[in-house]
Chain A
Amino acid sequence: MKEYINSGSKDTRSGFGEGLLEAGRQNPDVVALCADLTGSLKMDAFEKQFPDRFVQVGIAEANMVGIAAGMTIGGKIPFTGTFANFATGRVYDQIRQSVAYSNKNVKICASHAGLTLGEDGATHQNLEDLGMMKMLPNMTVINPCDFNQTKAATLAVSRYNGPVYLRFGRPKWPNFTDPAATFEIGKALMMNPGSDVSIFATGHMVWIALEACKALGEMGVSAEVIDIHTIKPFDNEAVLASVMKTGCAVSAEEHMRNGGLGDSIAQLLAREFPAPMEMIAVNDTFGESGKPEELLKAYGLDTPNVVAAALKVIQRKKNSR
């Protein structure tokens, strides 16, 4: 398989921070808003560089979303920053009416997504955000996998006109994608071609999927790994082409099974190409406190679980023949 080397673990939120700073340099209309989490979102460099284009709104996320929508009326490109829980569930109706339905060029940027925010626990572990955001018409939903990709995605969304939900995380995580790669919104990224099973992963789970791919390879199984960094618009063609080749699928995401990446794949396969499928996701339960790696293991999102899911769908595929 293609080898991916971790160039040094970094948090994806720092990729966002660097991307935002660069976007600010490239386009004077880029502005940033934050709800009292500037350091956590790594927006401090932008604030320092462009103090007149940074708006501290305090702990008032609903107001932040409305202000951001208003700033687009005046040609600004606002990036709002807070944790995924406060960026979505807390302000769903504000996003729905003032951003999505009004089709405003607001970038809702969310850190501390998924289980891996760790010790803060379930109050902060929003595992429904991708589902909520992908259900909104007009909304583009992006969940990059590492520091480099998050930085590139941040730059890409600054050039895209329309509402975006950009999701990233807290922990230091392997950084392995090409730093020179351009980010194409809506385009699935082939990480490793294979023939026996398709593993579709998003966010931090792409690295886990690559680890699983390696383990499967050692067992003589050829796994295809595809990075679905854009949950919406969904790259139907890439997913279908892969499953038509391999005949079975595994999805892997740090999100609730309901409404997430696996849900999008299952809907597509049910319509176009029914095939055995397993979903690595949190299943209808809240998270809890713990270290990121402990949590991934406790909720069945670690490498051995992805390997087991792959073997299971391959067996189901064989049984159905």
Chain B
Amino acid sequence: MISIQELERIASQVRRDIVRMVSGVASGHVGGPLGSADFLVALYFAIMRPDPKNFSMDGKNEDVFFLSNGHLSALFYSVLARYGYFEVQELATFRKLHSRLQGHPATAEGLPGIRISSGSLGQGLSVAIGAALAKRMNNDEHRVYCLLGDGELEEGQNWEAIMFAAGKKVDNLIAVVDYNGKQIDGPVDKVMPLGDLSAKFEAFGWKVLTMYGNDMAEVVDTIKKSHWFLGQGQPVVIIMTTHMGQGVDFMVDNHEWHGVAPTEEQTRNALAQLEATLGDY
């Protein structure tokens, strides 16, 4: 079993990768990826632990993960590469012409680890439900995870999916909402208040857990705890409070770091705060 300390070391390298990838091409999203880094590292390295050398699109007999908020692509790619799906050197091609690492995740380029294109928001939870239904039909006991943004919940399709998953008792599904309270135009509470999100999920019939998503031990514990509630006729959501830009002091909790690339100086400053635990690509 991998230690919390080791997971934190991986997360530090993943955060460096994110800053370097976005900075390297002067384009992309850095804030959300930094905030959700602990979660995705924990999910792949401590919880799902899929076999990266035998990636199959249909994901039979393994846990599968869907990134609905596809603009967290830099995080997704870094975790997939560090986990062993492809060479870390390929991270240098992020967002460049003919790269498998498209601006938003794509299946078209054949990158191992990606099972659906995402980026146009609001679609991932439906896809995750479909994968969960297929697993049920296949008598496959494995789980389906889906990461969503909080601002993304403004898309109506999510609420179709939330209604469906509870109504049809999709109980092999764990949705995780990155609740950082920020979106492009400002605080979520100003752009479009989500109200009492836990109460909303509960009212739809979901089991709701909450966690602080920037504490590795709490993340691992909460995901494990979420498994207890599966198989009981209702889907599970973890509302995960995070800090957008976590790990870089001048980015933390600032919505303006949603989708801008750091300058050279800012990049130096950011990297000075993030230890290269596994070696840069």
Contacts and interface: CB of A to CB of B under 8 A. Distances in A.
What is the size category of the interface that chain A forms with chain B? Answer: 20 to 34
A94 B157 CA distance: 10
Interface string B133-144: 111011010000
Contacts of B177: none
A66 interface: yes
Given A31-B137, A62-B160, A75-B60, A70 B120 contact: no
A73 B106 contact: no
B249 interface: no
A97 B133 contact: no
A101 B107 CA distance: 8
Contacts of A104: 116
Nearest to B125: A66
A58 B164 contact: yes
B131 A71 contact: yes
Main secondary structure of the interface of A (DSSP, over half): helix
A281 B130 CA distance: 38
Contacts of A58: 160, 163-164, 167
Contacts of A53: 137
B59 A73 contact: yes
Contacts, number: 123
Interface string B52-72: 000001111000101000000
A70 B106 contact: no
Nearest to A35: B160
Given A73-B59, A75-B134, A66 B107 contact: no
Interface in A141-164: none
A62 B126 CA distance: 8
A63 B157 contact: yes
Contacts of B58: 72-75
A215 interface: no
Interface of A: 31, 52-53, 55, 57-58, 60, 62-76, 78, 93-94, 96-98, 101-104
A-B interface, 9 closest residue pairs, ranked by CB to CB distance from nearest = A70-B130, A66-B126, A74-B134, A63-B160, A60-B160, A67-B130, A70-B127, A71-B130, A70-B131
Given A62-B122, A96-B120, 12 more contacts: A66-B125, A67-B126, A70-B134, A73-B57, A73-B134, A74-B60, A74-B130, A93-B120, A101-B108, A102-B108, A103-B107, A104-B116
Interface of B: 57-60, 64, 66, 106-108, 115-120, 122-135, 137-138, 140, 156-157, 160-161, 163-164, 167-168
